[in-house]
């Protein structure tokens, strides 16, 4: 059991625990420990042999016990129990996700909006992980609190991007995480969206719109010819905020027809789409984007933590954009 596989187990436990409001703190502890494993990639066998699993950041006695079980048997009885209790048992049609083949993340933030690192730091972080490309998708202007980018600042960012790209030697895709407004229009004009490499359109506000209106809103976004990915498609935050509810079947079907990918946002606070919705989107023909939505380089590790969602949804790697080389992402620049 390597650290990444163990991180996914702890991450799934964190996810299942979050469904019980009383377990929010324990859920966070499991997610934090998963993150430490994904970041540090410690040698679990050696630590277990020397009785030192608690030396891992965020790993106390309880989580160490789960890890010890994983090292010894390759399985977690605790996870199995949680799966049974929450009615989400293992299935025999899960897929295999080879994270070594991950080519790049399509959704990330810098200090141009609400990220906590510079574009240079983000690019270096992605490069250090061996990524071929990184989508720089800061927020659009509507979200004032995060200093969203209007056309003028996007242009300035694009100049800075070129410099960073040359300095670090990684392809930076000039993009935006554009807000899906209440009526389904987007927070930047088409003339701006069309010159970007990648457009992630996300719902952030008024998530509890009545489902009919929400369906129309999402359909309109999916039908915008410049949209490439729908970011965290429900906006939910398991354990604290319910996400948007809409006619998922209709929206996913339309997304598949328009070549718009649905995101699996691996941030442990989001985990959106859920495995169940992702499975439905898969059946209806959608492609996916498996992103960290990183606001700092360390958060790129959310992808190895969250990859279990794609596996549980049975999504084959060829339906996930991030496993494609840059050259195959030409649909991105539509
Ligand atoms: Zn977002
Ligand atoms: Zn984001």
Tell me the CATH number at 56: 1.10.150.110
The mean-pLDDT minimum among 114-128, 144-158, 185-199 falls in: 144-158
Are the C-beta atoms of 184 and 220 separated by less than 8 Å? yes
Residue 62 and residue 117 share a domain: no
State the sign of the Cα–Cα–Cα–Cα dihedral 114, 117, 121, 125.
Answer: negative
C-alpha 177 to ligand 1 mean position (Å): 7
Return the pLDDT at 144: 73
Segment 36-46 shows an average pLDDT of 97
Q: Are strands 104-108 and 261-265 parallel, antiparallel or unpaired?
A: unpaired
Q: Dihedral angle at the C-alpha atoms of 230, 233, 235, 241, nearest 10 degrees?
A: -170
Q: Which two tokens stand for residue 153?
A: 């600042």
Look at residue 123 and tell me if it is in a domain.
yes
Burial of 61 from C-beta contacts in 10 A (0-12 / 13-18 / 19+): exposed
Segment 169-192 shows an average pLDDT of 96
Segment 289-315 shows an average pLDDT of 97
The candidate with the shortest Cα–Cα distance to 269, out of 245, 296, 299, 247, is 299
Q: Which ligand is nearest to the CA of 175?
A: 2
307-334 residue pLDDT tens: 999 999 999 999 999 999 999 996 555 4
The candidate with the shortest Cα–Cα distance to 139, out of 118, 121, 114, 161, is 114
Domain boundary among 85, 116, 133: 85
13-31 residue pLDDT tens: 999 999 898 999 999 999 9
Q: Which ligand is nearest to the CA of 201?
A: 1
User: Which residue range forms the structural domain that includes residue 31?
Assistant: 3-85
Q: Which two tokens stand for residue 35?
A: 């993150």
Domain total of the chain: 2
Mean pLDDT of the chain, nearest integer: 95
Segment 111-135 shows an average pLDDT of 97
C-alpha 112 to ligand 1 mean position (Å): 15
DSSP classification of residue 94: -
């Amino acid at each position: 059991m390597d650290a990444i596989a163990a991180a996914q187990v702890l991450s799934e436990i964190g996810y299942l625990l979050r469904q019980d409001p009383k377990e929010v703190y324990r859920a966070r502890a499991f997610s934090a420990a998963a993150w430490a494993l994904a970041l540090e990639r410690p040698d679990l066998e050696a630590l277990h042999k020397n009785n030192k699993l608690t030396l891992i950041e965020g790993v106390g006695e309880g989580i160490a016990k789960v890890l010890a079980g994983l090292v010894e048997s390759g399985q977690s009885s605790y996870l199995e129990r949680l799966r049974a209790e929450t009615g989400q048992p293992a299935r025999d049609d899960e897929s295999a996700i080879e994270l070594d083949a991950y080519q790049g993340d399509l959704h990330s933030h810098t200090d141009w909006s609400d990220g906590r690192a510079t574009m240079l730091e983000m690019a270096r972080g992605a490069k250090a992980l061996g990524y071929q490309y990184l989508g720089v998708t800061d927020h659009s202007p509507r979200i004032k609190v995060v200093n969203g980018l209007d056309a003028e600042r996007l242009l300035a960012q694009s100049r800075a991007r070129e410099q960073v790209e040359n300095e670090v030697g990684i392809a930076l895709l000039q993009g935006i995480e554009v807000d899906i407004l209440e009526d389904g229009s987007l927070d930047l004009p088409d003339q701006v969206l069309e010159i970007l490499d990648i457009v992630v359109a996300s719902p952030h506000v008024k998530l509890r719109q009545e489902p009919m209106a929400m369906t129309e809103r999402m359909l309109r976004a999916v039908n915008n010819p410049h949209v490439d990915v729908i970011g965290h498609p429900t906006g939910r935050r398991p354990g604290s905020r319910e996400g948007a509810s809409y006619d998922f079947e209709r929206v996913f079907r339309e997304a598949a027809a328009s070549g718009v990918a649905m995101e699996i946002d691996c941030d442990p606070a989001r985990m959106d789409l859920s495995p169940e919705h992702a499975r439905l989107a898969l059946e209806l023909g959608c492609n996916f984007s498996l992103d960290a939505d990183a606001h700092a380089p360390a958060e790129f590790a959310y992808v190895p933590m969250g990859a279990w969602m794609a596996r549980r949804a049975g999504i084959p790697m060829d339906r996930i954009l991030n496993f494609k080389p840059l050259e195959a992402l030409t649909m991105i620049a539509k």
